[in-house]
Chains A and B, each alone.
With several copies, the nearest count.
Chain A
Amino acid sequence: MADSDKNISAALEAILFAVGEAVEVSRLAEAIEVDKKEILEAFQELNQKYEETSSGIKIVKLDDKLQLCTRNEYYDYLIKLVNIPKKHVLTDVLLETLSIVAYKQPVTRIEIEQIRGVSCQHAVNKLIEYNLITEVGRLDAPGKPILFGTTDDFLRSFGISSMDELPVVSSDKIEDFRRQAMEEASLTIET
């Protein structure tokens, strides 16, 4: 049993290394001829192995896909030898727009504009170009506006494996703001 386990994680490692890209858990399961649960166990095992052996690579989960990548701390060595595509600079406008898409998806451009109070055609197109957001459908409303959502590259860029890992910005947070505002307001009276 322990032995066959080991083979699954070795097979997983071999495949992910050779393919390079992110591969769906279901496709991996089909190729290695085990069920998805066993793939996920092998993923955990590999993950642990890389941690324990202070490996230069790591395994990440992006929604329902797995992929190998290098560990962040070796980036400086890499850039000396690897031709790494230039990183996109996310300006505040892009980040604001992106955060709205991330938290409210699926969302239309008009909805984004209503929240930001300014037009954002340009920001939306830039984010599509950077492959951080993409069209995910159409809203069933007049004009059938496009709905936007985030991509796998979004997950990669922000180091999370699913949207559930986004920091919680909830009504509690608003409560915090409220309290903060109250405190600040009461302070002002003193001055």
Chain B
Amino acid sequence: MATVDVKISNFEGPLDLLLHLIEKNKYSIFDIPIVEITQQYLAYLDDLCEDDYDKMSDFLLMAAQLISIKAKMLLPKEEEVLEEEGDPRDELVQRLLQYKMYKYASYELKDMEMDAEGAYYKGQSIPAEVKNYKEEVDPAEVIGDLTLVRLKEIFEQIMKREIDRIDPVRSRFGTITREEIKLEDRMIEVREEIKGLKSINFRTLLGRRKGKMNLIVTFLAILELMKTGVLTIRQEGIFEEIIIDSLEG
């Protein structure tokens, strides 16, 4: 298998890395060998530097998606179900194509920018004696028929929007958001919380924190801490409680 020779920090994001792997191996974007690609992708993740946690969450999310596609492809399926659901890779292919298209466009832009370089545009340079003719802007005219009630309504809308933005579930339907809770922060928190404890229930760890995002990030944080040997997890059976055992003193 290809050796890992490029640092993860060279990539703009998980799609960039995937495209690199596909092109390097000369795979067809329309028929990605998902097992190989997942394996190589994970190999790159191992190379991730410790201080790249923020960036890493995006890459981990993609890893999870790859594994999920892989699982879907391995599961035996009824003929009808297969027809109904289509190829589990389809969505990924579409995203890769779309990303590739914009990446290509960005190269074109870069060329255009170089070609356009050197033209000098002046700012406003109206001679003072002409400019003095200029009337002052009349604030009342600018305000026009704007009323204070309207201004208040606008302010209320902004405040409502700000609250919406803070709450990821309400503002981002079905989209997995990535920045409200940083993986890095959550890892430190989880580590703090289990410090001194022998083990803790996953549900307890989630505690009073609500939201899908928190659930995901906490889970990712646990996986990451597991990888670095801070803790280990166990589960007696499917749907049983997940118990987290601390490996630190």
By a beta-carbon cutoff of 8 Å, the part of chain A in contact with chain B is 14, 17-22, 58, 60, 67-75, 78-79, 82-85, 87-90, 92-93, 95-96, 98-100, 102-103, 110, 113-119, 121, 129-132, 142-144, 151, 153-154, 156-160, 165-169, 173-174, 177-178, 181-182, 184-189
Contacts and interface: CB of A to CB of B under 8 A. Distances in A.
Interface of B: 12-16, 22-23, 25-31, 55, 58, 62, 95, 97-106, 108-110, 112-113, 115-127, 130-131, 133-137, 139-144, 146-149, 151-152, 154-173, 175, 178-179, 210-212, 215
Nearest to B154: A99
Contact of A102 (B131, B147, B151, B179): B151
Nearest to A84: B120
Contacts of A58: 119
Given A99-B105, A132-B143, A188-B211, 18 more contacts: A73-B118, A78-B130, A90-B110, A90-B143, A102-B105, A102-B155, A103-B105, A117-B162, A119-B58, A142-B164, A156-B121, A156-B139, A158-B113, A169-B101, A174-B97, A181-B170, A185-B31, A188-B26
Most buried by B among A73, A159, A182: A159
The 9 A-B pairs at the shortest CB distance, nearest first, are namely: A159-B116, A20-B125, A75-B118, A72-B118, A118-B13, A20-B122, A185-B28, A143-B171, A99-B155
Interface of B is mostly: helix
Contact of B172 (A18, A84, A100, A110): A110
A174 B97 CA distance: 7
Contacts of A121: 179
A34 to B, nearest CB: 20
Contacts of A168: 152
Contact of A115 (B58, B102, B169, B215): B102
A96 B126 contact: no
Nearest to B23: A184
B143 A158 contact: yes
B179 A110 contact: no
B80 to A, nearest CB: 28
Contacts of B103: 96, 99
B173 A142 contact: yes
A96 B158 contact: yes
Interface of A is mostly: helix
B155 A185 contact: no
Contacts of B30: 178, 181-182
B167 A82 contact: no
Contacts of A184: 23, 26, 28, 167, 169-170
Contacts of A100: 102, 155, 158
A18 B122 contact: yes
23 contacts: A18-B122, A69-B122, A71-B118, A72-B115, A78-B130, A82-B131, A88-B141, A89-B142, A95-B106, A95-B151, A115-B159, A116-B99, A119-B58, A157-B143, A159-B113, A169-B105, A173-B101, A181-B22, A185-B27, A185-B31, A185-B210, A188-B26, A189-B212
A157 B116 contact: yes
Nearest to A76: B118
Contacts of B22: 181
B62 A117 contact: yes
A90 B110 CA distance: 8
B112 A160 contact: yes
Contacts of A98: 106, 109, 151
